[in-house]
Chain A
Amino acid sequence: MTTNKSHMLKLGAIWMLLLAIPLWLPLFGGYLALGTRVLVLGLAAMSLNFLLGFTGVLSFGHAAYFGLGAYGTGLALKLMTHSTPFALVCGVLLGGIAGALLGALIVRRRGVYFAMVTIAFGQVFYFIAFRWNSLTGGDDGLRGFERQPLDFGAWTADILRDSTMFFYFVLALFALAAGAMGLLLRSPFGRSLLAIRENERRARFLGIPVELHIWLSFTLSTFFISLAGGLNALLNNFADPTMLNYTQSGEIVIMVVLGGMRSFWGPLVGAAVFVLLQDYLSSLTTNWMSFLGAIFVIMVLFFPRGVLGLNWPESLRTVQAFLRKRGTPGGGAQP
Chain B
Amino acid sequence: MTDLILFNVTNGLIIGAFYVLMALGLSLILNLSGVINFAHGGFLALGGYIAYAIAPYVGFWAALLLSPILVALLGLVIERLMIHRMYGRDPLYSLLLTFGLAFIFEDVTRAIWGATGLPFSVPDYLSQPVSDKFFFITYYRLFMVSVVAVAVSGLFLFLRYSRLGVRIRAGTFDLDTVSSLGVNVRALRSFNFALGIFLAGLAGVLAGGQLSLEPTMGANLLMPSFVAIIVGGVGSLTGTLLGGLLIGVASGITTVFWPAASDAVIYVMMAVVLLLRPRGLLGEEGLLS
Contact = CB atoms under 8 A, between A and B. Distances in A.
B264 A124 contact: yes
Contacts of B229: 116
Contacts of A333: 76, 79-80, 187, 190-191
8 contacts: A58-B91, A112-B288, A127-B267, A287-B107, A290-B111, A296-B99, A296-B101, A335-B187
A121 interface: yes
Interface stretch (A76-84, A154-162, A249-257): A249-257
A335 B164 contact: yes
A16 B213 CA distance: 52
Nearest to B38: A250
Interface string A233-257: 0000000000000100010011001
Given A109-B278, A128-B264, A334-B191, 13 more contacts: A109-B289, A111-B289, A115-B91, A120-B223, A121-B270, A121-B271, A250-B38, A293-B107, A296-B100, A297-B100, A300-B100, A332-B186, A333-B76
A131 B91 contact: no
B108 interface: yes
A10 interface: no
Contact of A131 (B30, B77, B263): B263
B188 interface: yes
A131 B267 CA distance: 14
**Which 3 residue pairs spanning A and B have beta carbons closest together?**
A296-B100, A293-B103, A293-B104
Interface in B140-191: 164, 184, 186-188, 190-191
Nearest to A246: B223
B267 A121 contact: yes
Which of B100, B111, B261, B271 is the most central at the interface, judged by chain A CB atoms within 10 Å of its CB?
B100
A11 interface: no
Interface residues of A, number: 48
A52 B77 CA distance: 31
B71 to A, nearest CB: 15
B199 interface: no
B275 A105 contact: yes
A117 B270 CA distance: 9
A58 B99 CA distance: 15
Interface in A197-213: none
B62 to A, nearest CB: 22
Contacts of A124: 264, 267-268
Interface residues of B, number: 56
Contacts of B234: 113, 116
B95 A60 contact: yes
A63 interface: no
Contact of B36 (A105, A109, A115, A293): A115
A296 B92 CA distance: 12
Contacts of B92: 52, 58, 115, 253, 257
A183 to B, nearest CB: 26
A224 to B, nearest CB: 20
A297 B101 CA distance: 7
Nearest to A332: B187
Nearest to B261: A131
Interface in B70-106: 76-77, 79-82, 85-86, 90-93, 95-97, 99-106
A185 interface: no
Which of B34, B95, B99 is the most central at the interface, judged by chain A CB atoms within 10 Å of its CB?
B99
Nearest to B280: A113
B103 A106 contact: no
Nearest to B234: A113
B260 interface: yes
B96 A253 contact: yes
B230 interface: yes
Contacts of A117: 230, 270, 274
B226 interface: yes
Given A105-B275, A116-B229, A297 B82 contact: yes
B13 interface: no
A292 interface: yes
B227 interface: yes
A297 B263 contact: no
Contacts of B103: 289-290, 292-293, 296
A119 interface: yes
A335 B187 CA distance: 5
A304 B82 CA distance: 14
Nearest to B30: A112
A293 B81 contact: no
A294 interface: yes
Interface string B248-289: 000000000000110110011011001100100000000011
Nearest to A130: B263
B169 to A, nearest CB: 15
Contacts of B91: 58, 111-112, 115
Given A254-B96, A257-B96, A334 B187 contact: yes
A287 B275 CA distance: 42
Contacts of B80: 330, 333
Contacts of B271: 105, 121
A296 B96 contact: yes
B97 A297 contact: yes
B100 A116 contact: no
Given A119-B223, A124-B264, A290-B108, A113 B289 contact: yes
